[in-house]
């Protein structure tokens, strides 16, 4: 069941919750998007002993951290729940336990305060982050090419407007962040693997290992990373038994990262050909924090004479500011609905969102 359309503006600040994976995040945004408070609590330590995110542990951690995080955010902004204009939370895609906790908490708060609840798609949060006030004067104009690079997602999306997304291509196997995490594991680095690989790569020789560049040069803008990951596993397997020497690990990290960079530049270049009217190349998701990737995409965008828009590092990974901002964008576009009845969905592709009010019931 879908709720009623909400008015395009709210009377007070919006509280946003993100809990779709292993970050518990809360933010408060003024109706114009100004950030009044933001907190992100990573659960790395909780999951580290298991070598990956354990959904049940994540859900319990969200449950135990959310109340204090919300109280902190409200205190920091000098507000009480009675001052809020609306509450938003991620309702998908993601791990169902965490989504249930965040959405349930958000709905409860909204109900108690007598305010609307806005259900936000996590990927739409990443997609619209580039339009956060203050990043690009006047905001990035539609349409733009979104390169969504995270632990669970890897896709090229034409962003035609708020709620109007076309998937131009995506990974046919692993997400790029997943590849970073798997290679980090092979090298004995802690999760999430991306930052550790990036630091190690800076010390290595990117030409030491001739890893493949899957799908590079092919038409379209799909990605594939499983062959690259396997090539790294084989290179590690061929090393003498025992701990990997630091210099060798650095060479593997640098060679792997160089392969990823080449693939991303090639695929993004193809995607730009598919969206020649793009005003900008926008990179989002946790992997967008990688400086080598940012620099290479910057070069691509410069060659194509369009801007590269990469959000500040703290908004690349999962956070609640992007959830709050997506809710405000939906409100301003007249697309937000009261989501008290909306159930969390582990799978919820961007293309299932609708930008036309008549079609919103398709969500």
Minimum separation from the CB atom of position 326 to Zn ion (A): 12
The phi and psi torsions of 165 (rounded to 5 degrees) equal: -125, 140
Please identify, using beta-carbon distances, which residue of 268 and 331 lies nearer to ligand KG4.
268
Minimum separation from the CB atom of position 184 to ligand KG4 (A): 7
Tokens matching residue 57 = 């542990």
Residue 290 binding partner per list Zn ion, ligand KG4, none, with a CB distance cut-off of 5 to 8 Å that depends on partner kind: ligand KG4
Residue 125 binding partner per list Zn ion, ligand KG4, none, with a CB distance cut-off of 5 to 8 Å that depends on partner kind: none
Please identify, using beta-carbon distances, which residue of 190 and 334 lies nearer to ligand KG4.
190
CA distance 222 to 249: 29
**Do 56 and 22 contact (CB within 8 A), yes or no?**
no
**Do 198 and 187 contact (CB within 8 A), yes or no?**
no
**Do 90 and 102 contact (CB within 8 A), yes or no?**
yes
Q: What does the longest C-alpha to C-alpha distance in the chain come to?
A: 65
Residue facing ligand KG4 at closest CB distance: 194
Size, binding site for Zn ion by CB under 5 A: 2
Residue 193 binding partner per list Zn ion, ligand KG4, none, with a CB distance cut-off of 5 to 8 Å that depends on partner kind: ligand KG4
Per CB under 6 A, residues contacting ligand KG4 are: 21, 150-152, 177, 180-181, 192-195, 198, 285-287, 289-290, 317-318
Please identify, using beta-carbon distances, which residue of 125 and 204 lies nearer to Zn ion.
125
Residue 195 binding partner per list ligand KG4, Zn ion, none, with a CB distance cut-off of 5 to 8 Å that depends on partner kind: ligand KG4
CA distance 248 to 253: 9
Query: Is residue 193 classed as helix, strand or coil in its secondary structure?
Result: helix
Query: Is residue 248 classed as helix, strand or coil in its secondary structure?
Result: helix
**Do 38 and 319 contact (CB within 8 A), yes or no?**
yes
**Do 330 and 336 contact (CB within 8 A), yes or no?**
yes
Query: Is residue 358 classed as helix, strand or coil in its secondary structure?
Result: helix
**Do 243 and 278 contact (CB within 8 A), yes or no?**
no
CA distance 252 to 343: 44
Minimum separation from the CB atom of position 52 to Zn ion (A): 16
Please identify, using beta-carbon distances, which residue of 95 and 275 lies nearer to ligand KG4.
95
Residue 198 binding partner per list Zn ion, ligand KG4, none, with a CB distance cut-off of 5 to 8 Å that depends on partner kind: ligand KG4
Please identify, using beta-carbon distances, which residue of 29 and 53 lies nearer to ligand KG4.
53
* Residue entry with tokens 């709210």: 10
Nearest to 278 by CA among 298, 308, 299: 308
Please identify, using beta-carbon distances, which residue of 98 and 169 lies nearer to Zn ion.
98
Site for Zn ion contains 318 (CB under 5 A) = yes
Residues of this chain, 121-150, that bind Zn ion according to CB under 5 A = 150
Minimum separation from the CB atom of position 224 to ligand KG4 (A): 17
Please identify, using beta-carbon distances, which residue of 97 and 177 lies nearer to ligand KG4.
177
Minimum separation from the CB atom of position 151 to ligand KG4 (A): 3
What residues make contact with Zn ion under the rule CB under 5 A? 150, 318
């Amino acid at each position: 069941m879908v709720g009623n359309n909400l008015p395009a503006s709210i009377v007070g600040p919006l509280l946003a919750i993100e809990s779709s994976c292993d970050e518990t995040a809360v933010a408060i945004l003024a109706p114009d998007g100004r950030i009044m408070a933001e907190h992100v609590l990573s659960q790395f330590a909780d999951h580290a002993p298991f070598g990956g995110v354990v959904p049940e542990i994540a859900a319990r951690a969200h449950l135990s951290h959310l109340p204090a995080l919300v109280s902190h955010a409200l205190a920091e902004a000098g507000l009480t729940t009675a001052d809020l204009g609306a509450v938003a939370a991620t309702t998908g895609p993601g791990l169902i336990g965490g989504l249930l906790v965040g959405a349930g908490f958000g709905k409860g708060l909204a109900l108690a305060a007598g305010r609307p609840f806005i259900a936000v798609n996590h990927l739409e949060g990443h997609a619209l982050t580039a339009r956060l006030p203050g990043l690009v004067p006047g905001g990035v104009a539609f349409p733009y090419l979104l390169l969504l690079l995270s632990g669970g997602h890897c896709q090229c999306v034409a962003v035609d407007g708020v709620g109007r997304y076309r998937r131009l291509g995506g990974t046919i196997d692993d997400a790029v962040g997943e590849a970073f995490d798997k290679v980090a594991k092979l090298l004995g680095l802690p999760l999430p693997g991306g930052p550790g690989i990036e630091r190690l790569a800076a010390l290595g020789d990117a030409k030491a290992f001739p890893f493949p560049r899957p799908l590079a040069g092919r038409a379209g803008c799909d990605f594939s990373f499983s062959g690259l990951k396997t090539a790294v596993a084989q290179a590690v397997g061929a090393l003498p038994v025992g701990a990997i020497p630091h210099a060798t690990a650095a060479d593997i990290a640098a060679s792997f990262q160089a392969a990823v960079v080449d693939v991303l530049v090639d695929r993004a270049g193809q995607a730009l050909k598919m969206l020649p009217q793009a005003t900008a190349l926008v990179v989002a998701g946790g992997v967008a924090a990688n400086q080598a990737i940012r620099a290479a995409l910057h070069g691509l965008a410069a060659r194509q004479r369009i801007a590269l828009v990469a959000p500040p590092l703290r908004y690349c990974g999962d956070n609640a500011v992007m959830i709050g901002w997506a809710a405000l964008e939906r409100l301003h576009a007249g697309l937000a609905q009261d989501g008290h009845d909306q159930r969390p969905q582990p799978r919820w592709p961007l293309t299932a969102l609708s930008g036309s009010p008549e079609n919103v019931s398709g969500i």
